[in-house]
Amino acid sequence: MHAKLLERLVFFSDAVFAIAITLLVIEIGVPHVAHGPDAAHQALAALAERIPQFSGFIVSFLVIGAFWANHHRAFGLVGRHDPSFVWPNLHLLLVIAFLPFATGFMSENVDEAVPNIFYALSLAAAGLLQMRLLRRLLRPENAAPDASAAEMRAILRRSWAVPMASALALIVALIVPALATVSFVTIPLFGRLLTRPAISSS
């Protein structure tokens, strides 16, 4: 019974992550190119105008993918279902489902500070909510028999990466808004730096 409940929770979460990632591309409006001798030029110009949307899509796709990967790894280490998992998980999924809007708002106003700050705060909220969920999940009493304590510690350390990158993005957004999104490429770097002590100690 507990295994089935845990499985349903994971399947539902996977579906929300998948839908959120899919909705990201819907935020990119498909340009209409009129027939004529300059149709190729119009098409290329329309694509060039959407470079901020493409960039926002790629960044958000990778960030949501990172959230899903951590979620996937963490639940893979859990050996039992607990009702206390449900609401922290739903709170995280609430923000994940909201990210396509935050991405679209930022991508349409890439040179403005407020949309970039809004986007960074949205990702920071998701990062903090994931940390809250992981701390509840990765308790010793919830661990599967074959779960690695070192891996559990590494996941908890790695969960700081998105909030740290979001804090950097907030600072950049106040100075050069158009470069704020680039700050999120530091997530893998922060992840490596944060897990290095856990790996070396194991």
Render the burial of 136-145: b for 16+ CB within 10 Å, e for the rest.
ebbeeebbee
Which pLDDT score, from 0 to 100, does residue 37 have? 78
Residue 143, beta-bridge partner list = 78
The SS3 assignment for 143 reads strand
Owning domain of residue 103 = 2-201
Distances (CA, A) of 118 to 130, 181, 185, 187, 192: 18, 11, 18, 18, 26
Distance CA 92, CA 27 (A): 21
Token pair of 161 as six digits: 């990466």
Q: Is the dihedral of CA 164, 82, 94, 96 positive or negative?
A: positive
* Domain count for the chain: 1
Which pLDDT score, from 0 to 100, does residue 46 have? 78
Q: How many CB atoms lie within 10 A of CB 66?
A: 20
Which pLDDT score, from 0 to 100, does residue 1 have? 57
Which pLDDT score, from 0 to 100, does residue 201 have? 43
The fraction of the chain above a pLDDT of 90, given in percent, is 57
Which pLDDT score, from 0 to 100, does residue 38 have? 76
Is the pLDDT at 70 greater than 60, yes or no? yes
Mean of pLDDT over the chain: 88
Distance CA 67, CA 20 (A): 12
Is the pLDDT at 135 greater than 50, yes or no? yes
Which pLDDT score, from 0 to 100, does residue 86 have? 94
Token pair of 105 as six digits: 């708002």
Q: Is the dihedral of CA 51, 58, 190, 95 positive or negative?
A: positive
Which pLDDT score, from 0 to 100, does residue 126 have? 96
Distance CA 9, CA 81 (A): 9
Distance CA 46, CA 35 (A): 14
Would you put residue 148 in left (φ > 0), alpha (ψ -120 to 50) or beta? beta
The 10s digit of each residue's pLDDT in 21-60 is 999 988 777 777 777 777 777 888 878 888 888 888 999 9
